Amino acid sequence: MKQKIQLRSQDHIYLIDPDNIYFCQSDNCYTIINLASKKLLVSQSLTKFSKELPDTQFIRVSQSYLINSNFISLIEKKRKIIKLDNEIDIPFTISIKTLLELLRLKHNYAVEL
């Protein structure tokens, strides 16, 4: 059984399977967790929260965004946008070369540099 992670909001403690997280967005000292059916606001910074997620599945693509690589459907190099399966566009600030290297080495994607 896959291990769930614990997310704390002001009033709740959620147990979430990381596979259900599309992306996470920084909001000052909070993180917005975007799931398929809802968003959760947790009282933890994106940097701290990212340490709880598997680095073979999640990529920090900018200071504000952490994405689940399993949901990447398109990378627009000129606009520096990653489109996820749910049609959400995520801006990235890391270089395209770094992004492709991460996808190839850590996430076993068959991408060319």
What the chain holds in terms of domains, given with CATH numbers, is 5-105 (2.40.50.1020)
> Residue 111 has what pLDDT?
61
| Cα angle value 35/2/36 (rounded, 5°) | 10
Residue 26 or 9, more confident = 26
- Return the percent helix, strand and coil in the chain, to nearest 5: 20, 40, 40
Give, in order, the Cα–Cα distances in Å from 48 to each of 29, 45, 73. Answer: 10, 5, 27
Residue 91 or 52, more confident = 91
d(CA 8, CA 52): 13
User: What's the average model confidence in pLDDT over 3-9?
Assistant: 87
Q: What is the pLDDT of residues 70-94, one digit of tens each?
A: 999 999 999 999 999 989 999 999 9
User: What's the average model confidence in pLDDT over 40-50?
Assistant: 92
Phi, psi of 105 (to 5 degrees): -80, -45
